[in-house]
Chain A
Amino acid sequence: MQSPVTPLKDDFSLDLPTFERLLDFHVRTGATAISWPHHKGESLNLTIAERKRFAEAAVRVVNGRIPVTIHVSALAVEDTMELARHAEEIGADGILAITPYFWTPSLEAIHAYFVRLCSSIALPVLSYNSPSYLAGVEITGELMSRLIERLPNFIGVKEASFNSEKFLEISRAALAMRPDFAMLTGVEYLLPSVPLGGIGSYSAAGSICPNLCAQLFDACINGDWPRARELQYKISWLWLLFRDQYPSSLKGGMVMMGRPVGPTRAPLPTATKERQAHIRGELERLGILDTEPHGW
């Protein structure tokens, strides 16, 4: 599943025509779903009005070809509630929400948050667990069980701890209660998660190398582990390249792939010409320039 970056003009305002082109690119190059705006889409650097405007564009451009989910996580929970209602109104297929930022909420507070959010809309809700970015705040297996039991529209989790034990704790609890509960992971960590019950991931590098993403997904789902390992090593190497100054490095890489999407909003830096050249060198070394689509 692809989560597009947010194209910006040189004055840092939203670039709608490029966003439309990017959405179309993802749909044409094999994305199984679109989800916007992830952190990679600079969600927290956008105003709530901007997020609504592009959410509308995403639903309109994708036009039912694949599902569209809206990432509604915001610093203020009241904004999250507002974005969730908006997503439902504009016809999105679901929402994604992380555990609340900043406050390091207790398990009971996280429970109350998801109960309120899921009860406020009829749309399916995917939760998002990211303990390493949120000072250890996480959804435990026991909390996941309680939420699943209580909330029919609580349908999955983006489990982004990238840790065997944490993933397994949640998958074991969730899949026992609901075998079709969507165990997803972040970046493209499919190799370690699919054998534990994972059914997919969001993608970091899909705007650079959609072919590689699709090949890795196929190899994992088909249990072709030697091939999956080779592809995972390659795509994870790209993650190391892009993780540094994410997502500005990713935007820099997109320039090299003929799909420029403009600068990155502060406090994140914008990839310099030197950084772009370095990324180009690495993409060339990995054979990405020859095997992946160039331009739109």
Chain B
Amino acid sequence: MPASTPSPFAPGLVHTPVTPFTRERAIDFDLYARLIEFHIGNGADSLALPMHAGESVSLPDAERRALLEFAIKCVNGRKPIIAQVSETGTGIAAALARHAQEAGATAIVATTPYYWTPPPAMVLEHFVQIGSAVEIPFFVYNAPEEMQGTKVNAELCLKLLERRPNFAGVVDLSLDWQFMIELMTDAPRVRAGFQLLAGTELMVSAGAIGATGMFAPLAGIAPKLVRALYELCRQEKLFEARAVQEQIAALRQAVKPGGVASLKAAMRAMGRDCGEPRPPILPLDAFAYQKLIGELDAIAALRAEPRGW
């Protein structure tokens, strides 16, 4: 591709804040401002929002835009913001992408379309149109487990590189070694600076393969642990990273079954109450909450994490 491609933006360690809600299920903007300060003060290189951890799909269009604008105002240029613009309809996602650029986002990230489980050719067109809506860097979020099996493959990424000069990298939640290795063998040859980012806090294998960044939904619970893992991986101290990785895997395993409800419950346990999730997600019941607390207590590394704001 020509040398006119945008200079690579390296997201580094990307925190993905939850979206706080009031008891009336409205966005709690005061609390959101506080949460953003917490992330900036506790190791984030960039912020990505609203991700699925931020209940993006539970925010109507106007709220989603307002949330992004508010976050950009709060951050005020101190850290880059990656706006998530995923949608079912390509046109709706492209409109969100345009809005993100106008609002001042540094980059955008988008998943495969919701619900339709489209074949690769349709996924490619979806991404081409979203990427074409903006000039800022565009990341593809590959999360087959969250998207009923719809995923991107290396071939699709190479085609997207040909079509979109702002296609900057893949945020990978497939955790699939075959895909990541094939992608990193081919894509950086086509576009220097192409990036693989770990889509969650499982970075040792991805880092060995060549990932240079990490999306961290658990950063609201354990920012120190997340930062330690990221640093060790970036310094290629991969054997040393294993112990930290195992602690984080234990945390992820504890939170994963309950999804956002567990994430928010764990944040409350850490003294950073961001309310409950919006429907259709139900809050954890008392039994599930106590089970989660027990599992968190068993993770020794959490004792060194900040409590409260």
A residues in contact (CB < 8 Å) with B? 162-169, 172, 189, 191-193, 195-197, 223, 225-226, 228-229, 232-233, 236-237, 239-240
Contacts and interface: CB of A to CB of B under 8 A. Distances in A.
Q: Which 8 A/B pairs are nearest by Cβ-Cβ distance?
A: A192-B205, A195-B238, A164-B175, A164-B205, A162-B177, A236-B181, A164-B202, A233-B185
B178 A172 contact: no
Interface stretch (B83-91, B242-250, B283-291): B242-250
Interface in B222-277: 236, 238-239, 241-242, 245-246, 249-250, 252-253
Interface of B: 174-178, 180-182, 184-185, 202, 204-206, 208-210, 236, 238-239, 241-242, 245-246, 249-250, 252-253
A132 B273 CA distance: 39
A239 B182 CA distance: 10
A165 B209 contact: no
B186 to A, nearest CB: 9
A163 B176 contact: yes
A163 B180 CA distance: 10
B250 A172 contact: yes
A163 B177 contact: yes
A138 to B, nearest CB: 14
Contacts of A229: 208-210
Contacts of A197: 242
A172 B205 CA distance: 14
Given A172-B249, A195-B204, A236-B182, A162 B236 contact: no
22 contacts: A163-B177, A164-B202, A165-B249, A168-B245, A172-B246, A189-B177, A189-B178, A191-B208, A192-B181, A192-B204, A192-B206, A192-B208, A192-B209, A195-B238, A195-B239, A195-B241, A196-B245, A223-B238, A236-B178, A236-B185, A237-B182, A240-B182
Nearest to A236: B181
Given A172-B250, A223-B238, A196 B210 contact: no
B204 A164 contact: yes
- Would you call the interface of chain B mostly helix, strand, loop, or mixed? helix
B242 A196 contact: yes
A232 B208 CA distance: 10
B178 to A, nearest CB: 5
B184 A225 contact: no
A164 B246 contact: no
A223 B209 contact: no
A240 B238 CA distance: 26
A272 to B, nearest CB: 23
Nearest to A235: B181
A240 B180 CA distance: 13
Contacts of A167: 205
Nearest to A228: B208
A194 B184 CA distance: 19
Contact of B202 (A162, A168, A240): A168
Contacts of B246: 168, 172
A271 B38 CA distance: 60
B288 to A, nearest CB: 18
A165 B175 contact: yes
Contacts of B204: 164, 192, 195-196
Contacts of B180: 192
Contacts of A232: 181, 209
Contacts of A225: 208, 236, 238
Given A168-B246, A195-B204, 10 more contacts: A164-B202, A164-B205, A164-B206, A165-B252, A168-B249, A172-B246, A192-B206, A192-B208, A193-B205, A240-B182
